[in-house]
């Protein structure tokens, strides 16, 4: 039913949930979807979506202006949340704490979607044990120009390696161009240990399919499909099962059976198709919680890497410097970045990539327009760039994301390389905060 201010009141399992501005367009390009359409989608697949977020603290990634608008992250539970919604107190690497929402039922799911949560971003822990994850997350992130077939090949290699390590992987499309493979684990290991296991897995997959996979953190060093081990660091979240992604076709991060992976197409899974699939085949990940495994074999693999001289890999920038981590600076900016690993790493010559920053903007479309202006200014140079020479970085600030665009001039002769100019546009929303942080360090 509707009330006087155009809100729609939904009765869900005995609870009333108010959907404000139900007719507001959340998708308006390739397909048309209102906020109420999105709420109804999530209710239609609620058992599957809840399996990915139930009993987990969740970060609210809010698209209050719809999928085409700029989202912001809200860690803290809104003050006016319903009394029937649980919360837990999380501590973060910065030392700060926040009270976060825990969604346990369909009413809670509808309530956070009403806030503009197009995607669902749960932490990898349960509310009863916030320091020990119960999930190992393998995020396969393809670089520019990487084919979907290559992504599937790497995913199947991940499956094989997990099985050798005594773990069962559960695949799903990322809802964009990649694949997520999650594995339930016993709640015995800290975030640092789980990330260490994920790094060992990433490096081993890279060794097995070196032409297709990369474990390198810095984009200028990557190729093919990047296995993002840092998604297992504390305070990192990825979109969970049945999350809608803010793409024009309202694509969905969809759980799969392994025998579907070789032939699936991520574009087939959208808000319009997934409810029918769910009604027909159910949730392929329904039994995931019954298969919690051990990280012992992966941690043994990590120990072998370290004994061979492979130290820790870079952490996300907002983490404190970790023991054994090499200098946290991009190769293109490093003068000479010695390893601080206790055991010396093999000496290898690291080339310094010639990178230019082209655009910084909270609006991706404006950043891409800036790239096109730069290409028109330097058409001869632009013609020499390979697909993966253009680096489009989604940068995460303290509460929002912004886009940085760089170009790698490695394929451009030095004689005609343009200089670094002021990016156009040059709107880095974190600049003021970083300058303040750096000034405090100098005191």
Alpha helices in 209-327 (DSSP H): 274-281, 296-307
Structure confidence by residue, pLDDT tens digits, 260-317: 999 999 999 999 999 999 999 999 999 999 999 999 999 999 999 999 999 899 888 7
- The answer, yes or no, to whether the previous bond of 425 is cis (omega within 30 of 0) is yes
- Does some domain include residue 2? no
Beta bridge partners of 357: 406
Q: Is the pLDDT of residue 91 over 60?
A: yes
**Do 243 and 176 share a domain, yes or no?**
no
**Do 79 and 224 share a domain, yes or no?**
no
- Does some domain include residue 1? no
**Do 413 and 286 share a domain, yes or no?**
no
The residue whose two tokens read 């709107």 is 427
Q: Which domain holds residue 156?
A: 131-236+292-352
Average pLDDT over residues 147-160: 97
**Do 104 and 221 share a domain, yes or no?**
no
- Does some domain include residue 163? yes
- Does some domain include residue 434? yes
**Do 345 and 230 share a domain, yes or no?**
yes
**Do 140 and 226 share a domain, yes or no?**
yes
- Does some domain include residue 159? yes
432 band by pLDDT with thresholds 50, 70 and 90: low
- What's the rounded Cα separation, in Å, for the pair 137 and 253? 14
Average pLDDT, the chain: 89
Cβ 129 vs Cβ 138: under 8 Å: no
- Does some domain include residue 3? no
Task: Give whole-number Cα distances, 386 to 194, 383, 429, in Å.
Answer: 35, 8, 29
226 band by pLDDT with thresholds 50, 70 and 90: very high
Alpha helices in 170-317 (DSSP H): 191-208, 274-281, 296-307
Q: Report the CATH number at residue 154.
A: 3.90.920.10
- Does some domain include residue 90? yes
**Do 407 and 370 share a domain, yes or no?**
yes
**Do 63 and 96 share a domain, yes or no?**
yes
Q: Name the phi and psi angles at 172, rounded to 5.
A: -150, 150
**Do 228 and 340 share a domain, yes or no?**
yes
350 band by pLDDT with thresholds 50, 70 and 90: very low
Neighbours of 376 (CB within 10 A): 9
> The tokens of 137 are what?
């997350």
Among 82-86, 176-180, 424-428, the least confident range: 424-428
**Do 74 and 170 share a domain, yes or no?**
no
- What's the rounded Cα separation, in Å, for the pair 51 and 240? 9
Structure confidence by residue, pLDDT tens digits, 30-57: 999 999 999 999 999 999 999 999 999 9
Residues in the chain: 443
Pairing outcome for strands 33-34 and 97-102: unpaired
- What's the rounded Cα separation, in Å, for the pair 405 and 206? 26
- Does some domain include residue 17? yes
**Do 103 and 48 share a domain, yes or no?**
yes
**Do 249 and 278 share a domain, yes or no?**
yes
Q: Is the pLDDT of residue 64 over 80?
A: yes
Among 55-64, 233-242, 399-408, the least confident range: 399-408
Q: Which of 329, 352, 375 is a domain's end point?
A: 352
Query: What is the structure's pLDDT at 391?
Result: 84
Query: What is the structure's pLDDT at 342?
Result: 45
Mean pLDDT: which of 153-162, 399-408, 422-431 is highest? 153-162
Structure confidence by residue, pLDDT tens digits, 355-407: 899 999 888 888 889 999 999 989 888 888 887 788 888 777 656 678 898 98
Cβ 84 vs Cβ 107: under 8 Å: yes
Structural domains of the chain, count: 3
Q: Name the phi and psi angles at 2, rounded to 5.
A: -115, 150
Q: Name the phi and psi angles at 109, rounded to 5.
A: -60, -50
């Amino acid at each position: 039913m509707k009330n006087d201010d155009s809100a729609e009141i939904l009765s869900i399992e005995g609870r009333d949930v108010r959907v404000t501005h139900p007719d507001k367009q959340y998708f308006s390009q390739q397909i048309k979807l209102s906020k109420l359409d999105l709420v109804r989608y999530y209710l239609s697949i609620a058992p599957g979506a809840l399996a990915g977020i139930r009993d987990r603290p969740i970060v609210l990634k809010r698209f209050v202006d719809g999928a085409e608008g700029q989202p912001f992250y809200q860690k803290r539970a809104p003050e006016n949340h319903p009394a029937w919604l649980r919360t837990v107190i999380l501590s973060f690497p910065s030392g700060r704490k926040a009270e976060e929402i825990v969604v346990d039922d369909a009413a809670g799911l509808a309530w956070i979607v009403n806030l503009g949560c197009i995607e669902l971003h749960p932490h990898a822990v349960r509310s009863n044990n916030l320091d020990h994850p119960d999930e190992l997350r393998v995020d396969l992130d393809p670089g520019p120009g990487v084919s979907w077939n290559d992504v599937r090949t790497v995913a199947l290699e991940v499956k094989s390696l997990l099985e050798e390590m005594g773990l069962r992987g559960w695949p799903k499309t990322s809802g964009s161009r990649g694949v997520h493979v999650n594995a339930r684990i016993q709640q015995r290991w800290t975030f640092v240990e789980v990330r260490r296991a994920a790094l060992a897995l990433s490096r081993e997959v890279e060794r097995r399919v070196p032409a297709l996979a990369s474990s390198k953190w810095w984009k200028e060093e990557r190729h093919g499909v990047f296995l993002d081990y840092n998604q297992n660091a504390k305070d990192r979240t990825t979109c969970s099962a049945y999350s809608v992604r803010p793409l024009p076709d309202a694509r969905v991060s969809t759980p799969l059976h392994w025998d579907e992976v070789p032939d699936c197409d991520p574009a087939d899974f959208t808000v319009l198709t997934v409810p029918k699939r769910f009604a027909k085949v159910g949730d392929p990940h329904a039994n995931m919680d019954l298969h919690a495994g051990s990280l012992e074999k992966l941690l043994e693999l990590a120990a072998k890497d370290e004994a061979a001289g492979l130290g820790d890999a870079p952490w996300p920038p907002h983490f404190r410097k970790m023991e054994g981590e090499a200098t946290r600076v991009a190769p293109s900016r490093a003068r000479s970045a010695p390893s601080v690993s206790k055991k010396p790493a093999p000496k290898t010559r690291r080339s310094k990539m010639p990178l230019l920053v082209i655009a910084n903007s909270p609006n991706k479309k404006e950043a891409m327009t800036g790239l096109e202006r730069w290409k028109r200014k330097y058409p001869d140079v632009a013609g020499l760039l390979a697909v993966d020479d253009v680096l489009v970085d989604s940068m995460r600030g303290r509460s929002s994301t912004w886009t940085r665009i760089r170009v790698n001039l490695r394929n451009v002769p030095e004689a005609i390389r343009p200089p670094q100019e002021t990016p156009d546009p040059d709107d880095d929303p974190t600049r003021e905060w970083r300058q303040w942080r750096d000034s405090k360090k100098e005191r």
